[in-house]
A and B are shown apart, each in its own frame.
Chain A
């Protein structure tokens, strides 16, 4: 990551022009104060409809049974766990940007950190949905938690990666949520001062009595650093543990030691792609291109290129290991991925995740909004299919040829996938209406530094 930091030169400002502190506050906070525009309403309508589809599909599933999905005796997980891993992956970028980049003192993170963190929270919420609804009896989901009970006392099975998941994801979600909230406290203070009536009371309550004194600022910054330190290992641990769901099993294609780093790299990859997609839309709609500049996007494109190559390395390593192991089941699984009935999904994944990011070697293309936008979308498509490949193609043809089968999702499952996107975007759209989408106190800090540097340069 530090390589990216070095590439930053002072001649490329992180904030274009010098809008002035007031303008930044006005642009970011002001958008919360007026009425939402047509674009927001249109987007919200689409997102809420998608969420509605998801609610109906989930309701149908819970009322009737998992049989409404396309799963069978051989393929016990399909869209459900694919979506779960996909959303957990998306949920990686936010904390990576706000925690690891904070610790590495990457100043370019300030403009995008807030939105990325929000994205993390919503993505983890989407992800957490799936372990619940994929259960045959979701009303008993509380059995997954270790709590004192009158059944003996009957505990969870601490050997099960699913239990580890429960811990990993709930911890990650809690820390991310706190970190996100902590980052917003000074901005809530500003909003409290700018609003009146009920809004002011709410923002006042949320700002925890922020007074902007030097001592408050000092404690605040310390707390942020501490939280960043706490969140950093979680960035790595969550997807490592999610990968254990597969790595600790006996199924060829799942039982792979490469999975933890492979999953983390993939998660960062998909998370950054989603941040790019979201921010490109957000900055356009909110007219804050001077805050979220092409330079920010370029940095993220470089992350995509790097992690894309990591992922590509993992794919080829898997193939090599399968061949080198001499294990017929392992070999078959990878032959089957590349040439079996789901080969199209494999090659779609390969193209989107390995070949598409290669365009970001070119600076011109990194700066092209269209290329960046389409590229980031394709990466997310590719990453969704990566999880599909891992979950479904490993399962559908495992050890005994007699039980080989095929998996085709039903409309209900597609509805739930659509619904998870609906949930994500609904939350995000509500977020941009109630909280500052850019951490303007941090941006102003960056602007101050930028002015300082400019003065030094002029002198």
Chain B
């Protein structure tokens, strides 16, 4: 129950975790009693923290002293509960640290089959979304607050009317990854003969991918890509590492392959894209190509591979009329050769919503024998299921008036689509328009009925991101407001007997997941599943049948059509809608942690920017921050310019997710000046049943005026300084500058264990920035707003420096997480006049906040500039008592005038030390820092540098190890491992080595 979790982790090991928990274990007579006890204590424990928020409207019913204290709650001691992240449909494993009934930190679940312990920036920030003061707090009808009973009655009446009128009932939702939720919605729809339409806005895993497999394999599915087995990864405009449907799981597998490079050989990653993506930044080789060129490259690769593969003749014949490749010809030929060489160990992916390209990529994987190895069709990805044509159909029938009732679940289609105004008008005219959401979105404003939904951390749920991976989530806190689980609402409206979603969930699990279990067994199984957050692999999965190989006819026909498509014009300007790591599709764009997170590539925060290639910017006559209007079709957006090397000259990349109308209600922090002119979804084009986000013919003109970008990094080049390194192979030594040992004037210092040390593998680090938000959440780091960020007053203790190396038009991108290096000879320590920063015996550079008088001398004297000053009383900006609940009680909240910095999560180190001393263990065995814990790539190792064995020691011994500015003699306690760019068999241009 203590902070550290090296002991038998309660949520992972059934036997040990449940043994000491009396009520849960002993109640074997029925399925539920154990759970009621458990729920009760959560409710009771939640009161202390949530009564503040709740007492305003809800009578506090349980505010009595606990006669019998709940067994696993000790006031002030953290409890960890397993769950599933609901910030996006990826459904990563989650462990919530709950203090006195309120979650204070979210972490990845190490036992999760897919996410494997990582949790991305958005997932980390979901905690902040729970305590968002602008959440919807109660249901409303036509703008008036009502009770749930009134709302249910109104909905049911309207539903009956709609049914009587013979109109359609539709539920529009993002992909329902939860099988129970899906069943609840489908059974509701069955009652009214309605349809479910799933749609996920934003780029990544597009509709065409599933359509391609529908043609090829008979089922509209998205295969599961396993990068851990891919020696050669070729990605065409796809960004699975940064903004794909499951970035954590993909990053975990991608990094696993890179970490195995020493034994399995260096992997290769070729990225072909028009706009620099996080995935592209991590590629060994990057080609710049427009969307049309990418399609042509995909088809040409297929043609060349088909020629040289058995059974590929039909395909090769269909592609006879392909346009010439031009400048790509030799590179494509070489890449085709590489792919053939890596038969069965390669992986080709594409992010295009283009049937021809997706078909080509699917066939490439099939012909190369990657299916069944890196491409899994038997246990596909269930994260994206919608087809754009269904959405198009819905919009058509909305316009024609066929739809009588529309339930919008979680989405905000008014803002996240091309023609929001029309949809808004249609929603207003509908007999029944219901928004089920936790935010006052534009869609909620357009709907008469607003069913205020729970946050994911307040609700029950189950998730199946992939067949065979079934996880659960339990409420981590008592609901803060008078909200209701979205699916409970559907249960109420469908008139089933069980309206309690938890019971409904259990009922389904009893039937479907543990079908053979007796009632008594089920209780134990269920309890174990909740405790561990998932069911073990023993659970039978309906094995997907072998897929039929696509009949030649439609496939070759589609290919031939694609091959005949207009050849790419190189110079025409095209707009590409991209997602950013922090905002993704924009559904969490109101979370200050995410808005403040500098994009790892542009290094801009809060404010959206159009990414423009340097040459194009020169042609347009614009500089960073100049406003530019991009027109595509009838729509246009106006944003500041960010000049990005690595951008195709003809491609303007525009991030989606900004410009929401409810953006002004940014929790606690002043919002940047924004306008609907920044909503890039407006540029999307619904064409031929597909929602096109890239390759949009566009024009751009400077619109005059400036929107200064809050850029965290203005200098992108290393200026020849040896502060970051990349090497050509895993064996190559970094020639950094090192000081010989024993230069200390006062002789060697005693180094009692532990001496904390961190190693960061830049080869695994993708720059995804999960660690930055994890650090912010763990350490109560303030969000300061766009204006302050623009003044370079970011408060992040951990930042990700991004450097460009080589070719100015297509540079290599290097990420370097930079945090306090806990110098052995810390320059900050000697200069502080009041001894507010001192060294600890375990090698930490400590900052004593309440001793600091704020001379800022330490920050000036820090060669790494990792110290952060409280320019204002940032903490006072958190005025809403609900929002203050997010603060981690283990970490001091700093007042103004005080310096702060990374402490290697000293609160965790201390907690682990206390626990270890009690148990007579070595404390360095288990402790993890917040950044390390969140890292999906497991790029961070941490521990005692005196230990000769272990992960940390192994990392430090590698030839790629170097330390930043070690030549200053400051003895940094962070070791970096150089990034490897595998140019072997390189087919095209490549930049200079750093």
| Chain A residues packing against B (C-beta within 8 Å) | 64-67, 70-74, 76-77, 131, 134-138, 140-141, 143-144, 154-157, 159-163, 166, 245, 248-251, 328-329, 332, 395, 397-406
Contact (Cβ within 8 A) A67 B830: no
Q: Shortest beta-carbon distance, A208 to chain B, in Å?
A: 37
Contact: A66 with B854, CB < 8 Å? Answer: yes
- Contact in complex: B720, A405 (CB < 8 Å): no
Contact across chains for B853 and A135 when beta carbons are under 8 A apart: yes
- Whether B864 pairs with A399 at a CB distance below 8 angstroms is yes
CB of B71 within 8 Å of the partner chain = no
Question: A72 to B792, Cβ gap below 8 A?
Answer: yes
The reply on B859 being an interface residue by CB < 8 A is: yes
Kindly state whether residue B197 has any CB partner on chain A within 8 Å.
no
Instruction: Tell me the smallest distance from the CB of B792 to a CB of chain A, in Å.
Output: 4
Give a binary string over B68-104; 1 marks a CB under 8 Å from any A CB, 0 the rest: 0000000000000000000000000000000000000
- Cα A250 to Cα B859 with chains together (Å): 11
Residues of B783-824 at the interface with A, using a CB-CB cut-off of 8 Å, are 788, 791-794, 799, 801-803, 816, 818
- How many angstroms between the C-alpha atoms of A154 and B852 in the bound complex? 13
In whole angstroms, what is the CA distance A126 to B863 when docked?
31
- Report B901 CB to chain A, min CB distance, Å: 11
15 contacts between A and B (CB under 8 A): A72-B792, A77-B857, A77-B860, A141-B853, A160-B830, A160-B857, A166-B833, A251-B863, A328-B721, A400-B723, A400-B818, A400-B965, A402-B713, A402-B802, A404-B715
Whose C-beta in chain A lies nearest to the C-beta of B870? Answer: A136
Q: Are A66 and B792 in contact (CB under 8 A)?
A: no
The interface residues of chain B lying within 8 Å CB-to-CB of A406 are: 714, 792
Question: Which chain B residue lies CB-closest to A329?
Answer: B721
* A4 to B868 alpha-carbon distance, docked (Å): 51
The residues of A that contact B508 with a CB separation of less than 8 Å are none
- Nearest-neighbor residue (CB-CB) of B864 within chain A: A400
Q: Is the CB of A402 within 8 A of B818?
A: yes
Interface string of B863-874 (1 = CB under 8 A from A): 111011111110
Query: Are B968's CB and A250's CB within 8 A?
Result: yes
Q: Which residue of B lies closest to A327 (CB)?
A: B967
- A408, closest chain B residue (CB): B791
Write the chain A residue with the least CB distance to B899. Answer: A136
B833 touches A76 (CB 8 A): no
Contact B818 A156 (CB under 8 A): no
- B972 nearest CB across to chain A (Å): 12
Q: Are A67 and B793 in contact (CB under 8 A)?
A: yes
Cα of A137 to Cα of B851 in the assembled complex, Å: 10
Is the Cβ of B854 less than 8 Å from the Cβ of A137? yes
Query: Is there contact, CB below 8 Å, between B830 and A159?
Result: yes
Taking CB atoms, residues of chain B closer than 8 Å to A157 are 830, 832-835
Question: What is the chain A residue whose CB lies nearest that of B868?
Answer: A73
Report the bound CA distance from A414 to B816 in whole Å.
Answer: 37
Partner of B859, one of A76, A134, A248: A76
Cross-chain contact B714 with A160 (CB below 8 angstroms): no
Known: A73-B869, A248-B831, A401-B719. A154 touches B861 (CB 8 A): no
Q: Please name the 4 residue pairs, one residue from A and one from B, whose CB atoms are nearest each other, closest first.
A: A136-B854, A136-B897, A67-B871, A76-B856
- By a CB distance below 8 angstroms, the chain A residues around B851 are 143, 154
Determine whether the beta carbon of A400 is less than 8 Å from that of B853: no
Asked if B898 lies at the interface with its beta carbon under 8 angstroms from chain A, I say yes
B residues in contact with A140, CB < 8 Å: 853
Q: How far is the CB of B799 from chain A (nearest CB, A)?
A: 8
Nearest opposing residue in chain A for B802, CB measure: A402
Indicate if the CB atoms of A400 and B896 lie closer than 8 Å.
no
B818, A160: Cβ atoms closer than 8 Å = no
The residues of B that contact A249 with a CB separation of less than 8 Å are: 827, 831, 860-861
Most chain B Cβ neighbours within 10 Å, of A72, A76, A397: A76
Q: A350 to B911, alpha carbons, bound, how many Å? A: 57
Do the beta carbons of A73 and B793 come within 8 Å of each other? yes
A381 CB, nearest partner CB in chain B, Å:
25
Contact with A along B180-210 (1 / 0, CB 8 A): 0000000000000000000000000000000
Q: How far is the CA of A124 from the CA of B792 in the complex (A)?
A: 33
Q: In the assembly, what is the distance between CA of A267 and CA of B249, in Å?
A: 63
Contacts of A64 in B (CB 8 A): 872
Q: Which B residues, 834 to 859, have Cβ-Cβ distances below 8 Å to chain A?
A: 834-835, 851-857, 859
Please name the residue on chain B nearest to A137 by beta carbon: B897
Instruction: Write out, one digit per residue, whether chain B residues 691-721 have a CB within 8 A of any chain A CB (1) or not (0).
Output: 0000000000000000000000111111111
Q: What residues of chain B lie closer than 8 Å to A154, measured between beta carbons? A: 835, 851
Q: Say whether B855 contacts A162, CB under 8 Å.
A: yes
Which A residues are in CB contact (< 8 Å) with B791? 70, 72
